[in-house]
Amino acid sequence: MKGRLPWIAPAMVLLLALSIFPLIYSLKLGLKPAHFERMFHDRLFHIALWQTLLFTALALIAEFVLGLSLALLIDGLGRAARLFRAGLLMPMLLPPVVAAVAWRLIFNPQFGVLNGTLKGFGLDTSHLTWTNGEGAALLCVVLVDIWEWTPFLFLLLSAGLQSLPQEPLEAARVDGASWWQTTRDITLPLLKPVVLLALLLRSMDLMRIFDQIFILTQGGPGFATETVSLYIYRTAFRFGNFGYAAAMSFVMLAITTVMARSLMRVMKTK
């Protein structure tokens, strides 16, 4: 052990500097009753929390339904499925910042591709402001997330489908079960562990969404697309209140943990 200590010492120092010390320092700053009392009365935090939960629910449901549908559809294509899988994974390969910048240009009401295409069909686009309008801004951000991260759920669910045992499926076909009956009674129950993993990973990532909203809308117009992660960033780095930002981070960690545990309990097989 003494001979190994000089070799692992740099890694231990780096771990302490980048992980353990910031965690202890944030606990010291954030775990103060005044911060949680302020959070209880902070209307902007409540709005940001509600919008974060709404964004997570809309994106997660849409991405799961689309990912599962595509996985089931492409799983039955045989050899041609490889080509479709490669094409569907392309959006996920883009860095989120690059994808957000591209969609920001697409949504631009003056010279964006979307309004330009609609004008080409003779439609009036003067009222279509997309991310600049309070009503549509959050839905536009959800749409971008669906476009980029549905392939992630598709990849996990498609891999899960390929790993399922074929004997129950073949027995169901021999007994005359339809595709829907086989999917409902055999495929989905066997796929439940993979579904749980996919939903857990995606929901935890959605709860901390930052980069796409920061690039697309900056939390606007007004406060229409503000999420907790963006609110924490503003509180810490624009207003210098690192203690309150740390307290909000711990609350979000607690909410994410409770949500993950609840999801595991719902999906738990008897």
- pLDDT tens by residue, 218-248: 888 888 899 999 999 999 998 889 999 999 9
Quote the percentage of the chain above a pLDDT of 70.
Answer: 94
Q: Which domains does the chain have, with CATH numbers?
A: 30-93+136-267 (1.10.3720.10)
Question: Does the pLDDT at position 16 exceed 90?
Answer: no
Report helix angle 134-163 to 43-75, nearest 10.
40
220: left (phi over 0), alpha (psi -120 to 50) or beta: beta
Q: What is the pLDDT of residues 17-65, one digit of tens each?
A: 777 777 788 888 888 888 899 999 999 999 999 999 999 999 999 999 9
**Residue 29 to residues 46, 61, 143, 231, 240, Cα–Cα distance (Å):** 21, 36, 37, 17, 12
Question: Does the pLDDT at position 2 exceed 60?
Answer: no
**Residue 68 to residues 14, 154, 197, 265, Cα–Cα distance (Å):** 41, 6, 13, 21
242 or 124, greater pLDDT: 242
What pTM, to 2 d.p., does this model score? 0.87
Q: What is the pLDDT of residues 73-102, one digit of tens each?
A: 887 666 666 777 777 888 888 888 899 999
59 or 161, greater pLDDT: 59
Q: Could you say which DSSP state residue 111 is in? A: T
Q: Concatenated DSSP letters for 52-96?
A: HHHHHHHHHHHHHHHHHHHHHHHHTSGGGHHHHHHHHTHHHHS-H
Let me know: does 26 contact 240? Beta carbons within 8 Å: no
What is the arithmetic mean of pLDDT over 192-219? 90
Average predicted confidence (pLDDT) for the chain: 86
pLDDT band at 270 (very low <50, low <70, confident <90, very high): very low
How far apart CA 82 and CA 75 sit, in angstroms, is 10
Question: Does the pLDDT at position 269 exceed 70?
Answer: no
pLDDT of the residue at 64: 94
